[in-house]
Every structure is written in structure tokens, then in C-alpha cells.
Amino acid sequence: MNPIQEGRVVIIGSGLIGRSWAMVFAGGGFQVNIYDIVQQQITSALETIRKEMKELEETRMLKGTLSAEEQLSLVSGCTDLKTAVEGAVYIQECIPENLESKQKIFGQLDLIVNNNIILASSTSTLLPTKLFTGLNHVKQCIVAHPVNPPYYVPLVELVPHPETDPSTVEKTHALMKKIGQSPVKIIKEIDGFVLNRLQYAIISEAWRLVGEGVISPSDLDLVMSDGLGMRYAFMGPLETMHLNAEGMLNYCDRYREGMKRVLKSFGPIPEFSGATEQKINQAMCEKTPADPEHLNTRRQWRDKCLMCLAKLKKDIKSN
């Protein structure tokens, strides 16, 4: 089978997320056109992608079956929107998280796209009804929210507008699977989608426990990284329940009252400021000072860990 796919993908906005999406699509064998309003951003994106793909190839972590050079030959840049989208099958918008800017770009796209293309937004927080309402091509619009860095963390939350055609959801789901991502369908839009709602629930209780002096900030993080996180890299909380007793019904029988009692003791939403903020900030800065150099070194370490975990998960699946 020819690993090069038919149809071209357009990435709109070549920052952190746009670059990563471009690499994911090229890994899947798609031609990728990167559009940005800043030429320098495109130039730097193409350079970064070349460097990263070469490094990934050396460490045998490059996605897909094509070589780095073959994948690089699929990626190009463009500063003219109309030329960029001509003949494309899928657009992944990755411009900054600002409602007016995103509405503006989708308004521009609405005037120039055909009736088959899919218009997807990478937004982390903006609801489809805010982004897409009133567009002529609303049936073809969807949020496809990645997790940073998308190259190593495959989850993509697919969130339709109420008027999004079901075929748009299905086609986007199939496309994401084809490029090796792990799409989930959010059936109806909700503030924070699902990943951030779960994340905020954890942050909220973590903040309270540290604020109330139950545990230190560094030990709190250890509870996740060496406790819950170990399992959660492989299975979710619901399957965990199922396995932690003789099935789900037995788990609920055994633990429902205890869960409800503990959950009732959760306090109000924290303010995320004041003394607890100072305390947590101090602990975090002792470990990683909050200057760009230290933060970047630690981010690189995180991405390396994620890369190893991604490889482990892939090996486990193929066994």
C-alpha cells in the first residue's frame, strides 16, 4: 500500500500546536500546507520540524512508515489563505486562543471552502456554538482538541456544534485514527470539554489538600506520578473500578457509601491565590525555577518521558 495519502491537510497557525499537528499529519503520510500570517513563523516552523524529525528518526521514534526526508517533502508553507486551502480535504486551525480571532478566520474560510472539506479547531476552551454558529459550512465544522504535545500524547477530543453533520464527526474520527491519534467523541458540548474537567477536579482537590496542610506539594505530585498516574497511563478510572473489585457492581456495593462520605467532605472551589498559591509556588520553584531556561529543560525531560511511555504503550499493543 502506498503510505502517501490522498488529499492535503492545511494547518492554520504555525506555533507550538500547529507544528506538532503538521508532524503528526506528515507521519500519517498526508501532504501538509502550513499557513500563517507571519512568514517568519512559517520559516521557523519548517526549520523546527526538520530538526525534530531528524532527531526522532535517529532515536527511532519517528511516526509512520516514511523516512524523515520523505515526510519533510510532504510539508510546505504558505502565507496566502486561498492558495493554502485550495484542494485541501481537512483544515486544522491552531491560531491563538482568542474568540474574535478564531471567529474571524472561520468567517474567512467559510467564504472560500467547498462543501466537502472539514474545518477543525484546536481550541482548548472555546465552545463550538461560540466558534461556528452562523457559518454557511457549520455542518463541516468541529473542535478537534489535542493534548500538548500531540506528537506523544495521542488523545484528541472531538466536539461537534449542534448542527455539525454526523458524517463530519465520523470522518474526523477516522482521519485521527489513520494518523495514529486517539480520538474520543464528546457527544454534546460542555465547558472545559472532558479532559480539562477531569484535570480541574484533580487540581482543585490537590490545592485543598495542600492548603489544609494534609500533604506537602511535592508529595501531592508524587501521589499522582507514582500512584494514580501509573494506572491511568493504561486504563481509565471506570475500568480501574471494575478491576479493583469483582466487577463494577461489586465495586459500587463495596465502596459507594465510602466514596459519597469522602466526596461530601470536599470543600468549596479554591481561590487559587493567597497563602496556598505562595506555598505551592515556592515548592515548584525549588524543584524547577520559573525562568525560561529551567522550564524548557524540564519540559524537554517531560517530553522525553512521554516519548518513552508512548513507545512502551505501542510495544505492549503490538505484543
Based on the shown chain and the rule CB under 6 A, indicate whether residue 68 belongs to the binding site for ligand NAI: no
Kindly list the strands in the beta sheet with 118-121, ordered across the sheet, starting from the edge strand earlier in the chain: 75-78, 31-35, 8-12, 88-93, 118-121, 141-146, 155-160, 182-185
Contact (Cβ atoms closer than 8 angstroms) between residue 176 and residue 158: yes
Choices 96-104, 187-195, 206-214, 263-271 (CB under 6 A): range interacting with ligand NAI = 96-104
CA atoms within 13 A on the CB side of 145: 22
Least distance (Å) between residue 156 CB and ligand NAI: 10
Contact (Cβ atoms closer than 8 angstroms) between residue 64 and residue 180: yes
Based on the shown chain and the rule CB under 6 A, indicate whether residue 204 belongs to the binding site for ligand NAI: no
Least distance (Å) between residue 226 CB and ligand NAI: 24
Non-local (6+) Cβ contacts of 119 within 8 A are 91, 93, 106, 109, 113, 132, 137, 140, 141, 142
Distances (CA, A) of 34 to 30, 46, 123, 205, 315: 12, 9, 17, 40, 32
Based on the shown chain and the rule CB under 6 A, indicate whether residue 122 belongs to the binding site for ligand NAI: yes
Query: Binding string to ligand NAI for residues 144 to 173, with x set by CB under 6 A, is what?
Result: -xx-x-------------------------
Based on the shown chain and the rule CB under 6 A, indicate whether residue 17 belongs to the binding site for ligand NAI: yes
Based on the shown chain and the rule CB under 6 A, indicate whether residue 113 belongs to the binding site for ligand NAI: no
State how far the Cα of 214 lies from the Cα of 15, in Å rounded to an integer.
40
Least distance (Å) between residue 27 CB and ligand NAI: 18
The single residue among 24, 62, 75, 105 that binds ligand NAI, judged by CB under 6 A, is: 105
Nearer to ligand NAI, 133 or 148 (CB): 148
Contact (Cβ atoms closer than 8 angstroms) between residue 115 and residue 142: no
Based on the shown chain and the rule CB under 6 A, indicate whether residue 16 belongs to the binding site for ligand NAI: yes
Taking CB atoms, the residue at the shortest distance from ligand NAI is 15
Q: Is 35 exposed, middle or buried (0-12, 13-18, 19+ CB in 10 A)?
A: buried
Choices 23-31, 95-103, 191-199, 274-282 (CB under 6 A): range interacting with ligand NAI = 95-103
Nearer to ligand NAI, 94 or 169 (CB): 94
State how far the Cα of 34 lies from the Cα of 11, in Å rounded to an integer.
5
Whether cis (ω within 30° of 0) applies to the bond prior to 149 is: yes
The single residue among 8, 14, 53, 77 that binds ligand NAI, judged by CB under 6 A, is: 14
Q: How many chain residues are in contact with ligand NAI, going by CB under 6 A? A: 24
Interacting residues with ligand NAI (CB under 6 A): 12-18, 35-38, 41, 94-97, 101, 105, 122-124, 145-146, 148
